[in-house]
Structure 1
Amino acid sequence: MRDYREDTGLKGIGVVACDMDNTLLADDGSMPEGMEGRIRALDEAGIVFAAASGRPLYTLRDMFCGLEDRMAFISDNGAAVVLRGKVVYRSLLEPAVVRELAEFTLGLGAGAPVACGLDACYVRECDRGFDAVFRRFFHSVAYVDTLDDLYERHGVDVNKFTVYLPGADAVSVRDEAFAPAFGERLSVTCGGAVWIDVMRAGVDKGTGLARLCERVGVSPADAAAFGDTDNDVEMLELAGHSYLMANAEPRMEPHARFRAPSNNERGVAVVVDRILSARGERAAGRAS
């Protein structure tokens, strides 16, 4: 894998898509200092910055408060795409599929099921013990008796079904249980060690990025993408300038062209500064 400094042609980049956890965010959950200024500078240079995450839209909006009209969101692993405050794409799971996934998860006895909508996530009351974990990723949490009738009783449209695995065995549970049961008709991925995410077939960060690129008239070859784990694979493989974080597991290396410094080394900010420099721009607040 080549070093990020070997990437050329940065002047033509029109979209920058960036995963959040363990990519943009350091291990302590903080963003790089001056990231708001960099996003504004990208926007002024005609480059769309997109936060691409398994996190829901309302959480991402909170994390980038005041910047929504200057950037894009690829939320819920591509199940919702928002450009400058307007929803341009949304994918929903059928209520019957949500019931099936909830029943399957409970049958495994392996984790806590979460149904995700655009405005809140829905969790069974009996899983309230994980509230602190849920609220780190979902800023709006609603507790209900059951997930079986969310649409019928509450009118909730679900765009992603998530399972929290407190045993940090998401990859094995996906491979041994969810992928065999649902992989042929739904999109099944992992968001790190403790989350399994299920969306409609063909929905992932890669298709989310493709839809965003089409919307703004940028070829995926002129997109940059940053990621570290399984739910970033399709996005990294699509982008012409793909960067794997130095803190990613070695198994991720075949999916990206370049290696960026780690999340704790603020690798995304380092590469974004190179992209801005190629355009003759300078991020506000960037150290000289």
Structure 2
Amino acid sequence: MKVVAIDLDGTLLSEDLTIHEENVRAIREAQQQGSIISIATGRALFDAQNIIEKYGLNCPIIASNGAQIYVDNKKIDEQFMDPHITQPIIQWLNEENTYYQPYLSDKIVVSDRGIHHLEEELHEVVKQDPSFNKDHFWESIKVTIEQNGLQEVRGTIHPTDYDSIVKLMVVSPDTSKLKRAKEYFNQLGGCVVSSSGEFNLEIMSVGVDKGIGLHKLCDYYGTTVKNTVVIGDNLNDMPMFHVAGMGIAMGNAEEELIKIATFKTLSNNECGVAYAFNKYIQENEMVSSGLTGR
């Protein structure tokens, strides 16, 4: 039994946030041949479910960068952050007037002041660097600020408002602030900090990442991560690439990911997932079974 874990944004999803029919067809064909095709995403579980159900797909899901694992129509694992860690993080973000989203089991919340904070930061960034591309910034974070399940709350989110936080998403056009934030959060201990884009940070409980989530999924199916293939494009996919038997980087992937990948496929706008199935996954299986004559 082969497990294939596929990232969503920048991988299975094209730039217009749709899944091309060629990719859908490749997933269904692989499922029909007995492979377990999983989605592995930084998105919340309910958001990922909403996306794949639009295309009639039924897949196990590693969500929130491994904090949530959903198999056979049930949640088999969910890891919450320690409030002793989330509280100082939220306090710091509030003091810095930074846009952030606490991910909960059933929704994602954001202050109704969040967009205002982004606009103020962007104004300062452009003042310091007039060449900064504002349109690129807004396009880059569009997925985050418009995602399914996002609910605005009035005023400031207080550190003690939520006890059961799955993940914290932080967004800023100020990359130096993101660097400072990452350094501070890492000093707290008890959490891991990753990224799925140029202008964000993703904070989860220690012991949570996509690679660990892949281990848990394989345990459920009675197989090992060495028998897995992963396809992704960004830094939060790296833990999977470090443990999987084969790592396939998208043509649009971060250079750090490409360096550790087994293969590089086409971009997300060129049906790179389908190409990976046809060019690398199926061909590798034929070689392993001796069907190619090599």
CA positional deviation for 1:276: 5.4
**Does the alignment pair 1:97 with 2:102?**
no
Q: Matched residues in 2 for 1:189 and 1:141: separation?
A: 23
Q: Give CA-to-partner distance per residue, 1:147-187, whole Å, 9 cap, x none.
A: 42333xxxx6211011122x162xx5444332344254311
The answer for the alignment partner of 1:15 in structure 2 is 3
| Secondary structure of 1:199 counterpart | strand
Contiguous gaps of at least 5 residues in structure 1: 1-12, 281-288
Aligned-partner residue type, residue 81 of structure 1: I
The answer for the alignment partner of 2:228 in structure 1 is 223
CA positional deviation for 1:271: 1.6
The answer for the alignment partner of 1:3 in structure 2 is none
Q: Matched residues in 1 for 2:212 and 2:77: separation?
A: 11
Residue 61 of structure 1 contacts residue 68 of structure 1 at CA under 8 Å; is this kept in 2?
A: no
Aligned-partner residue type, residue 165 of structure 2: V
Query: Residue 69 and residue 90 in structure 1: after superposition, are their counterparts in 2 closer, same or farther (change >3 A)?
Result: farther
The answer for the alignment partner of 1:49 in structure 2 is 37
Query: Residue 195 and residue 80 in structure 1: after superposition, are their counterparts in 2 closer, same or farther (change >3 A)?
Result: same
Query: Residue 263 and residue 168 in structure 1: after superposition, are their counterparts in 2 closer, same or farther (change >3 A)?
Result: farther
The answer for the alignment partner of 1:261 in structure 2 is 266
CA positional deviation for 1:247: 1.3
Work out the percentage of aligned pairs sharing the same amino acid: 25
**Does the alignment pair 1:185 with 2:190?**
yes
**Does the alignment pair 1:250 with 2:255?**
yes
| Secondary structure of 2:11 counterpart | helix
Q: Of the candidates 102, 108, 121, which is equivalent to residue 121 of structure 1?
A: 108
Q: Matched residues in 2 for 1:265 and 1:101: separation?
A: 39
The answer for the alignment partner of 1:107 in structure 2 is 95
Moved over 6 A (4+): 66-69, 277-280
Q: Matched residues in 2 for 1:263 and 1:239: separation?
A: 21
Query: Residue 173 and residue 228 in structure 1: after superposition, are their counterparts in 2 closer, same or farther (change >3 A)?
Result: farther
Q: Give CA-to-partner distance per residue, 1:113-138, whole Å, 9 cap, x none.
A: 21001210111122255796545334
1:127-206 pair list within 5 angstroms: 127=114, 134-145=144-155, 146-151=157-162, 157-165=164-172, 167=173, 169=175, 172-182=176-186, 184-206=189-211
CA positional deviation for 1:29: 1.7
Structure (1 or 2) with the larger CA radius of gyration? 2
Q: Matched residues in 2 for 1:30 and 1:67: separation?
A: 9
Q: Matched residues in 2 for 1:108 and 1:135: separation?
A: 19
Q: Matched residues in 1 for 2:79 and 2:15: separation?
A: 31
| Secondary structure of 1:234 counterpart | helix
Residue 85 of structure 2 contacts residue 190 of structure 2 at CA under 8 Å; is this kept in 1?
A: no
CA positional deviation for 1:68: 8.3
Q: Matched residues in 2 for 1:221 and 1:173: separation?
A: 38
The answer for the alignment partner of 2:60 in structure 1 is 72
Query: Residue 144 and residue 217 in structure 1: after superposition, are their counterparts in 2 closer, same or farther (change >3 A)?
Result: farther
| Secondary structure of 2:43 counterpart | coil
CA positional deviation for 1:204: 0.6
The answer for the alignment partner of 1:26 in structure 2 is 14
CA RMSD between the two structures: 2.6
| Secondary structure of 1:191 counterpart | coil
Query: Residue 69 and residue 267 in structure 1: after superposition, are their counterparts in 2 closer, same or farther (change >3 A)?
Result: closer
| Secondary structure of 1:196 counterpart | strand
Query: Residue 147 and residue 266 in structure 1: after superposition, are their counterparts in 2 closer, same or farther (change >3 A)?
Result: farther
CA positional deviation for 1:225: 0.5
Residue 120 of structure 1 contacts residue 140 of structure 1 at CA under 8 Å; is this kept in 2?
A: yes
Query: Residue 134 and residue 122 in structure 1: after superposition, are their counterparts in 2 closer, same or farther (change >3 A)?
Result: same
Higher RCO (CA-CA < 8 Å; seq separation 6+):
1
CA positional deviation for 1:45: 2.3
